[in-house]
Chain A
Amino acid sequence: MFDPYKVREDFPILNRRINNHPLIYFDNAATTQKPRQVIEAMKEFYEKHNANVHRAVYTLSLEATELYEEAHEETAKFIGAHSMEEIIFVRGTTEAINLVAYSWGLRNLKPEDEVLLTLMEHHSNIVPWEILSKIIGFKIKYVDVDENGALNQESLKEMLTTKVKLVCITHVSNVTGVINDVKTIAKLAHENGAMVLVDGAQSVPHMPVNVRDLDCDFLAFSGHKMLGPTGIGVLYGKKEILEKLEPFHGGGEMIREVSFDPKTRRCKISWNTLPWKFEAGTPDISGAVGLTAAIKYLKALGMENVKTHECSLTKYAIKRLEECSKITVYGPKSVELKCGIIPFNVEGFNSHDVALLLDSYGIMIRSGFHCAQPLHQKFNISSSARASFYIYNTREEIDQFIETLKEIEESL
């Protein structure tokens, strides 16, 4: 039985008071809080097992290597990948997408090609492609969204011509929480000869995600949005695709051999095996250890339970927000179509005002564009406030949030 009150006991930070109020943390789409199990795992790593990984023969290094490789294996199992060879550790979703852009895009996209994005993408799934487009000259097309921020399926189908070589799409919008049917989109894309990159930053932490079921070619996500530490993220790629790619970063560890040829006075380089050929330099070992602990924690809770809990909170929050006459909520109202993210504005206040006011009551929410300016332009709003929930949030916290919003409304 999923019990958020029991879960809360594992999160030391939730005992804090901010501005003389109990902390209510509703900025989980930006980053999540960390359970004791993750903090302890990282502490234990540094206290007992710290060493650099791979290629050393001494005991500590072997222990560190085992922990680091275990993190790849746990991650692979968590998202249903075939093996750890398909799991590349990076700094976060942004770096994962950049890796695809530079390892695959730079060498495979041609000026006559097209890349399909959507208006609901986070800047991290827009900017790398816009940069690359300037270098190569390929065309970028943006699939439109409707007034609720849901993807226009017809527009997508029309735009998905044989010129499109890659579809880059978020699984869940970080602004509206809209869930995209990436399984169907991947099928359509593949039928047209395009590959699919899924931004899973807002889906993998909140619902069961299986890459084999989705049949996506790449999936990017961040550890810190799923209870893990900052600085570690994941790029999943199908093995047969990763094998053909050239590395993005060069350095130690990602090579098999660097041999100097005295005749040419150049070095001849061959790459390491997967996934290491994409992980140059000393990796974030303690981050990987923390990520393992986070995944184990989420698995113990059950991802279906995580999803159900967040849906229930979102449904409750949307219903209670209807009591506030001066508040506009954006995105779909039906929780079947979305995750636990609610963007809104209060009439007469800009989003930063709302966030600062709520902060006075110990309630942490985000304000601004949430790195998704095109979607705000589509909604014709200058910015929005955003509440986003996770496993440790409760209905009582939502009640407090609503009562505070009502106070703000009354102050107008």
Chain B
Amino acid sequence: MNANVNINLGEYIARMEEACGEEKDVIVHFKFEKKDEAIGKILKKAKMEKTVAGVIFDLTYKGLSIRLYNTGKAIIKKAKDKNQAQSILAELLS
């Protein structure tokens, strides 16, 4: 967790898992009741690379690719580990 960012990730995130497979992806499930707020915050801070019909948003933030789904899920691609993904999310959601 980034020490400079004061945010309780548990407020927004229901679950984070390192995905199975060679790709070091972290799958994020936002809390249903907070998903729209979380998506809004992330879209404000991350750079939009591409959107598919408002369902998927391909974003970049600090060198990491993030694919965000309007269903309240996200894949943080090639994160070093779960801690790095948490750090990035803390910045995006603050």
Judge whether A382 is part of the interface by a CB distance below 8 angstroms.
yes
Bound together, the chains give a CA A370 to CA B21 distance in angstroms of 9
Which residues of the partner chain B approach A383 to less than 8 Å between Cβ atoms? 19-23
Q: Which A residues are CB-close (under 8 A) to B55?
A: 357, 360
Among A352, A359, A360, A370, which residue has its beta carbon within 8 angstroms of that of B19?
A352
Contact with B along A357-386 (1 / 0, CB 8 A): 101100000011111000010000011000
A359 to B67, CA, bound (A): 14
Q: Tell me which residues from 1 to 60 in chain A have a Cβ below 8 Å from any Cβ of chain B.
A: 19
B23 near A356 with CB under 8 A, answer no
Interface size, chain B (Cβ < 8 Å):
18
Give min CB distance, B55 to chain A, whole Å: 6
- Residues of B contacting A371 with CB < 8 Å? 20
Total count of chain A residues near the partner, CB < 8 A:
18
| Known pairs A19-B71, A353-B67; A411 contacts B52 (CB<8 A) | yes
Using a CB-CB cutoff of 8 Å, which residues 330-370 of chain A contact chain B? 350-353, 356-357, 359-360, 367-370
Q: Which chain A positions have C-beta within 8 A of B27?
A: 352, 356
- Which one, A350, A356, A367, A382, contacts B69 given CB within 8 A? A356
* Per-residue A-contact encoding for B1-32, CB less than 8 Å = 1, 0 else: 00000000000000000011111010100000
| B20 close to A350 (CB less than 8 A) | no
Instruction: Produce 1/0 per residue, B44-73, CB < 8 A to A.
Output: 000000001101100000000001011101
Is B71 within 8 A of A382, CB to CB? no
Minimum CB–CB distance for B8 against chain A, Å:
25
- Whether B73 pairs with A359 at a CB distance below 8 angstroms is yes
Assess the A359–B71 pair: CB atoms within 8 A: yes
- B-side contacts of A369, CB under 8 Å: 20-21
Which residue of the partner chain A has the closest CB to B19?
A352
Q: Is the C-beta of B75 less than 8 angstroms from some C-beta in chain A? A: yes
Query: Given A356-B75, A411-B52, A411-B53, is A368 in contact with B21 using a C-beta cutoff of 8 Å?
Result: yes
Pairwise interchain contact A360-B70, C-beta atoms closer than 8 A = yes
What is the distance, in angstroms, from B94's C-beta to the closest C-beta of chain A? 24
Bound complex: CA of A376 vs CA of B23, how far in Å?
13
| Interface hub of B22, B53, B77 (most chain A Cβ within 10 A) | B22
- Which residue on chain B has the smallest CB distance to residue A412? B52
CA distance A376 to B21 in the complex (A): 9
How far does the Cβ of B67 sit from chain A's closest Cβ, in whole Å? 6
CB-CB under 8 A from B75, the residues of chain A are 352-353, 356
Contacts of A351 in B (CB 8 A): 21
Please name all residues of chain B whose beta carbon is closer than 8 Å to the beta carbon of A411 when the two chains form the complex: 52-53, 56
Determine whether the beta carbon of B73 is less than 8 Å from that of A368. Answer: no
Q: Are A357 and B23 in contact (CB under 8 A)?
A: no
Distance (whole angstroms) from the CB of A343 to the closest CB of chain B: 12
Set of chain B residues within 8 Å of A370, measured between Cβ atoms: 20
Give chain B nearest CB distance to A21 CB in angstroms. 10
A19-B71, A352-B27, A352-B75 in contact; A357/B56 too (CB < 8 A)? yes
A368-B19 contact given A19-B71, A352-B27, CB 8 Å threshold: yes
Q: Chain A residues with Cβ under 8 A from B19's Cβ? A: 352, 367-368, 383
CA separation between A359 and B71, bound complex, in Å? 8
Enumerate the 9 nearest inter-chain pairs by beta-carbon distance, A residue then B residue, closest first.
Answer: A383-B21, A368-B20, A382-B22, A411-B52, A368-B21, A360-B71, A19-B71, A352-B19, A369-B20
